[in-house]
Amino acid sequence: MVRVALISDLHFDVNKQPVVDVLAQQASYLRQQNVGIYLIAGDITNHFDQSLAYVTAMQRELAPAQVRFIAGNHDMLHDVTYAALESPLAPTYLHARYLDVAGTDWRIIGNNGWYDYQFADNLQGRNFLAWKRAFWIDSSITQPLSDLQRMDHVLTVVEEQLRAAQIAKKRVLFMTHFVPRRDYIRYTDDDRFWNMANAMMGSPRLGDLLNRYRVEIVQFGHIHRHFAPQQFGSTWYYNQALGYHNRRINEWQGTDFMTEWRQRLRIIDLK
């Protein structure tokens, strides 16, 4: 049995948390809980180099336990190109890669994910790309593909990995950043901001693919609402996003960063 800790959307910089102040505390807590693998589903900071530095330092602190992460849209804003994101940047970076869990038949598969506007299909005739460029933080992320093409590529890569896991007779824990199911999308009856923003939340096509391959566990982030673990079909979904706490937005239930981190952290056993 291996204990796995799940978290996402730490947003150290938005939350004004110097990494050095919390990293040792987090590592100590994870060791106390006998965690063997720590999985971070993106949005660590707004700079990829800083996100990677945190994960690298955490890996040093936790060894021989293993730390793995994928990039969320915030991690992609600075210090990294699309081509680099698609490459094996570091041993801890799990995008388009996998980790077989020693002593079990589990395989952890990672993919950053993306979106294709399908979660906003309640809105007809909208130019979501123009809205994204005007209002959404991802407008500064450069890519050689359209959003639809990028999501198509994600699905191709993920299906190849799921097929390989199936052949190897592996049970799968799949980690991504963006939302894979419509059940997590909030719709309103008016024309407010979030109805348009749903276009950038993720893709229901990913959830369909995961369901088709009977993936047992899915970890994702991106959406900062507090969800309990939910089972759809044969798949358990975990969204352990920590989210924002600043002057404008307070998504925390705890009183400080470490309290919120401990409350949002989900520890599961892979047997």
Q: What is the pLDDT of residues 215-238, one digit of tens each?
A: 999 999 999 999 999 999 999 999
In the chain, the N- to C-terminal Cα span, in Å, equals 4
- The CATH number assigned to the domain holding 217 equals 3.60.21.10
- Is the pLDDT confidence value at 191 over 80? no
Residues of the chain with pLDDT > 70, as a percent, come to: 100
For residue 248, name the pLDDT band (cuts at 50, 70, 90).
confident
Please tell me the predicted confidence (pLDDT) of residue 190. Answer: 72
Q: Residue 208's closest CA among 241, 254, 162?
A: 162
- Is the pLDDT confidence value at 147 over 80? yes
- Is the pLDDT confidence value at 71 over 90? yes
Count the domains in the chain.
1
State both tokens at 150.
């990028």
State both tokens at 84.
């680099």
CA distance 267 to 259: 15
In this prediction the pTM is 0.97
Tokens 């801890």, residue located = 92
* Chain mean pLDDT for the chain: 96
H helices present in 112-201, as ranges: 128-135, 147-167, 193-197
Please tell me the predicted confidence (pLDDT) of residue 39. Answer: 99
- Is the pLDDT confidence value at 55 over 70? yes
State both tokens at 147.
């959003």
Q: Which domain holds residue 197?
A: 2-270
Residues of the chain with pLDDT > 90, as a percent, come to: 94
Residue 62 neighbours by CB distance under 10 Å: 21
